[in-house]
Amino acid sequence: MVANGIGVDVGGTFTDFAVWDGTRLTTGKTSTTPDQSDGVVSGARNLMSHTDLLLHGTTVATNALLERKGARTALITSEGFNDVIEIGRQDRPSLYDSRADRPEPLVPRKWRIAPSGEVPEIDAVAVSLLWSFLEPQEESAILRRIRDEHPDLPVSLSSRVSPEFREFERSSTTVLNAYLSPAVGRYLHNLRAKIRAAELASDVLVMRSSGGLMDLESAVALPSAILLSGPAGGVVASAELGRALGRDRLISFDMGGTSTDVCRVEGGTPEATYQRDIDGYPCLMPSVAVHTVGAGGGSIAWVDPGGALRVGPRSAGANPGPACYGRGGVEPTVSDADLFIGRLAPHLAGGMELDLRRSRAAVEAIAAELSLTVDTTALGIVEIVEAHMERAVRAVSVEQGADPRGATLVAFGGAGGMHATALARRLDMAGTVIPPFAGVFSALGLMLSPPRVDLSVSIDDETAIDRAVVDLATKAARRLSESTNLEAVDVTTLLDVRYRGQSHETTVPYEAGEGRAVLEARFHQAHRERNGFAREGDPIEVVTVRAAALGAPVLAWRDLDEVRPVGEPARGTRSVLTAEGAVEATVWWRPGLRSGAEIVGPAVVEEPEATVWIGPGERGIVHPSAALEVEW
């Protein structure tokens, strides 16, 4: 285990920091800069002088895709399959909206060429041949030819990026990888150069979508693996906190300035997915099963053509930010509403000053447009954003056959604690936990995350399953050691299984030697849990083998000290507007609260990077881990 490190999580509005010096954790937060590396370096310099590892969660790959700022990319594919990435599957993006269409292919038709064709003047190449997941030799030969002619041109081979069957999804993933590689490479190499020039860290690891860390050069070569780098850290930290609290059914709820990310944790393990669409493009990289909605503290309230109040997905971002930031923003946001009704204080504990007058003016402007009072409008903004987030939680629970009523909501992010209990009560959940360091919890999660390598391969010989499992597990462990100089402390293996003739798979754990009977029983159970039925007795088939090799994280939850109160906890009272009218809420300083301390709502609990609202009839108790458990 590394002695020390810094976790840096870049969001759309803020960049969060968590520094572990081997004995103590310190945190910080700064505004996200247009070039993310500038904010990373300046914020890290304010907190420390040097550390062994900088662990980075970044949105640079996601932003490059969403903003269509990737590379000019060519696709080399088998004869007759040039249009696969455009034809896709015979389903529609929105079943009942005839105007909704698929996104434009990232490779225009003129740059989709046959294996024998000439490579045009472009910035990156994706190579995806029809049978390369079983026979990668031809793709390797194409790579050698391109290297002879264009030695510095980034090339992504489907047999290395995602050696899985289904040519459309594999081609889409490979194209995504090639499209993002130059932009991600420029950013990460620039970041490393700045960090080394400032002598801030010896090495950099990057968070991958699956909830583990990869070395910088691997991230440059495989940027499709970091498309969900940002949200993954908070999910890992939620699972670790759940273990410390003895709770293994959780839903992580990360509400930041721009968006809200939710993910289900079952049996102490984050729900994973091995195929998802990202802005309409299929990606086969493994990831934590995060569902994101455009609902954050900076989400802008607006009036639609029908005269209804709406909130998001457009965000005020970091600059100009909400009206209360005083940086030129004039449109009302969720943060402006929270400040106006009293959940947020004008003088934040972290030192930031908010302008109540500007918030009121912004909310008043939209209230006049709606012909409503300013109080009703502010409460309406809060109600609408909470309804958006409720639908997000339902998407990762009810819609997947999981009952949220037995789960605990782990709420973090700068704005998460202000809306957590209302959200949990809407869904009749078991309770809410606000973790320590809630405002920078995803940055802390980076240090709780293990170095990780994910590999997969589709197979066509079911008699060789055990051999394929052993070979892939060995390869994953070796790859981890080669890329990070760390030995694997755990290697997990899984199989994608389906009923013969089915068009979708269910992923189940499997170790070599467990045998067919164990595999079948495990698959039937998983299929029943996910789909509501199982066809026991029907033949099954294995199509893909998966392996994940994990190293030791920088930090384990047990390394964190128990709560040590600092300062006087009671900070008076203030009026907070609720749907039932104004209430006088007690105000508490969270770092001053002792283990076992009880807070009865209505109450506001403030800390340096976040605020918690405990409503009337709710009760919070401080756990020895410093987590605040809220029930009703």
Question: Which run of H or of E encompasses 399?
Answer: none
Residue 139 backbone phi and psi in degrees, to 5 = -65, -40
Instruction: Return the higher-pLDDT residue of 79 and 608.
Output: 79
Angle at 76 between CA 73 and CA 78, to 5 degrees: 150
pLDDT band at 350 (very low <50, low <70, confident <90, very high): low
Q: Tell me whether residue 227 is in a domain.
A: no
Q: Which structure tokens are listed for 416?
A: 């998460």
3-state secondary structure 473-528: HHHHHHHHHHHHCCCCCEEEEEEEEEECCCCCCEEEECCCCCCHHHHHHHHHHHHH
Q: Choose one of 532, 552, 572: the last residue of a domain.
A: 552
In the numeric block, the tokens 């293994």 are attached to 248
Q: Which structure tokens are listed for 326?
A: 């005083």
Q: Look up residue 248 and give its amino acid.
A: D
Q: Measured between alpha carbons, how far is 180 from 325 in angstroms, rounded to an integer?
A: 33
413 and 383 together in one domain = yes
The string of pLDDT tens digits covering residues 486-505 is 899 999 999 999 999 999 99
Contacts of 65 by beta carbon, 8 Å cutoff, 6+ apart:
176, 179, 180, 227, 278, 279, 281
pLDDT given for residue 2 in this prediction: 56
Q: Measured between alpha carbons, how far is 516 from 508 in angstroms, rounded to an integer?
A: 13
pLDDT higher than 80, residue 431:
yes
Q: Tell me whether residue 534 is in a domain.
A: yes
543 and 462 together in one domain = yes
CATH number at residue 408: 3.30.420.40
Q: Which structure tokens are listed for 340?
A: 């106006």
pLDDT band at 348 (very low <50, low <70, confident <90, very high): confident
Q: Which structure tokens are listed for 251?
A: 């839903």
433 and 486 together in one domain = no
463 and 392 together in one domain = no
The percent of residues above 70 in pLDDT, for the chain, comes to 99
Q: Tell me whether residue 342 is in a domain.
A: yes
- How many structural domains is the chain composed of? 2
Q: Tell me whether residue 80 is in a domain.
A: no
The string of pLDDT tens digits covering residues 601-624 is 999 999 988 999 999 999 999 999
Q: Measured between alpha carbons, how far is 181 from 176 in angstroms, rounded to an integer?
A: 8
Q: Choose one of 537, 552, 567: the last residue of a domain.
A: 552
The string of pLDDT tens digits covering residues 274-328 is 999 999 999 999 999 999 998 999 999 999 999 999 999 999 987 899 999 999 9
Q: Measured between alpha carbons, how far is 492 from 509 in angstroms, rounded to an integer?
A: 8
pLDDT given for residue 102 in this prediction: 87
Choose among 112, 219, 118: nearest CA to 171. Answer: 112
Q: Tell me whether residue 516 is in a domain.
A: yes
In angstroms and rounded to an integer, the radius of gyration of the C-alpha atoms of the chain is 25
DSSP label at 421? H
417 and 498 together in one domain = no
pLDDT band at 205 (very low <50, low <70, confident <90, very high): very high
432 and 343 together in one domain = yes
The percent of residues above 90 in pLDDT, for the chain, comes to 84
Contacts of 356 by beta carbon, 8 Å cutoff, 6+ apart:
324, 339, 340, 346
- One DSSP character per residue, 184-246 reads HHHHHHHHHHHHHHTT-EEEEEEE-TTSSEEEHHHHHH-GGGGTTHHHHHHHHHHHHHHHHHT
Q: Tell me whether residue 317 is in a domain.
A: yes
Q: Tell me whether residue 361 is in a domain.
A: yes
CATH number at residue 458: 3.30.1490
The string of pLDDT tens digits covering residues 24-59 is 899 999 988 999 999 999 999 999 989 999 999 999
pLDDT given for residue 317 in this prediction: 81
Instruction: Return the higher-pLDDT residue of 194 and 12.
Output: 194
413 and 456 together in one domain = no
354 and 495 together in one domain = no
378 and 512 together in one domain = no
Q: Tell me whether residue 91 is in a domain.
A: no
How many Å separate Cα 317 from the centre of its chain?
A: 18
Contacts of 450 by beta carbon, 8 Å cutoff, 6+ apart:
212, 213, 489, 490, 550, 551, 552, 553
**Residue span of the structural domain in which 363 resides:** 234-449
Q: Measured between alpha carbons, how far is 468 from 483 in angstroms, rounded to an integer?
A: 22
pLDDT given for residue 349 in this prediction: 62
pLDDT higher than 90, residue 336:
yes
Q: Mean per-residue pLDDT for 205-230?
A: 96
Q: Choose one of 510, 530, 552: the last residue of a domain.
A: 552
| Average pLDDT over all residues of the chain | 94
540 and 408 together in one domain = no
- Extended strands (E) in 256-327: 260-266, 269-270, 272-273, 276-278, 281-283, 287-288, 291-293, 299-303, 309-315
pLDDT band at 98 (very low <50, low <70, confident <90, very high): confident
CB 233 within 8 A of CB 446: yes
pLDDT given for residue 529 in this prediction: 87
Q: Measured between alpha carbons, how far is 417 from 404 in angstroms, rounded to an integer?
A: 19
Q: Mean per-residue pLDDT for 467-486?
A: 95
Q: Measured between alpha carbons, how far is 406 from 457 in angstroms, rounded to an integer?
A: 36
- Where is average pLDDT lowest: 7-21, 92-106, 133-147, 159-173? 92-106
DSSP label at 353? B
349 and 470 together in one domain = no
Q: Measured between alpha carbons, how far is 430 from 293 in angstroms, rounded to an integer?
A: 23
445 and 462 together in one domain = no
pLDDT given for residue 215 in this prediction: 96
pLDDT given for residue 570 in this prediction: 95
